[in-house]
C-alpha cells in the first residue's frame, strides 16, 4: 500500500530534482522512493553487520575467569624479541 508523504524543499532544489528526474525518465516521487528504499536497505545491512561483529567480538573476549594484565602483554612482547 502506498501512502503520501509531504516534504518541504527550497524552490531551487525542486527545480534541480525535477530536471534530474526528467533526464532519468522518472518522477521526483520515483527518485525519492528509490533513494529512501536504498537508504533503508543499507541501514538494515549495516545493523546486521554491526550486530554480527559485536557477537564475534564478545565470543573472542570471553576467556572465562582469566583477565588480561598489562604486565603479561608487555612481557610476552619483550620475550618474543629476546629482550
Q: Looking at the domain assignment, is residue 45 inside a domain?
A: yes
Q: Looking at the domain assignment, is residue 65 inside a domain?
A: yes
59 vs 48, 54, 62, 64, CA distance in Å? 17, 9, 5, 11
Q: Looking at the domain assignment, is residue 40 inside a domain?
A: yes
Q: Which domain holds residue 22?
A: 11-80
How far is 13 from 19, CA to CA, in rounded Å?
A: 10
How far is 33 from 40, CA to CA, in rounded Å?
A: 11
* Res 75 pLDDT > 70: yes
Q: Tell me, what's the pLDDT at 30?
A: 96
Q: Looking at the domain assignment, is residue 1 inside a domain?
A: no
pLDDT tens-digit readout, 15-66:
999 999 999 999 999 999 999 999 999 999 999 999 999 888 877 766 566 6
The domain tally of the chain equals 1
* Res 4 pLDDT > 70: yes
pLDDT tens-digit readout, 27-36:
999 999 999 9
Amino acid at each position: 500500500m502506498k501512502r503520501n508523504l509531504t516534504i518541504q524543499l527550497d524552490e531551487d532544489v525542486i527545480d534541480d530534482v525535477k530536471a534530474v528526474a526528467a533526464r532519468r525518465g522518472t518522477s521526483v516521487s520515483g527518485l525519492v522512493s528509490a533513494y529512501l528504499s536504498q537508504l533503508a536497505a543499507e541501514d538494515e545491512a549495516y545493523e546486521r553487520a554491526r550486530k554480527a561483529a559485536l557477537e564475534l567480538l564478545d565470543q573472542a573476549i570471553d576467556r572465562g575467569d582469566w583477565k588480561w594484565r598489562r604486565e603479561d602483554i608487555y612481557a610476552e612482547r619483550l620475550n618474543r624479541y629476546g629482550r
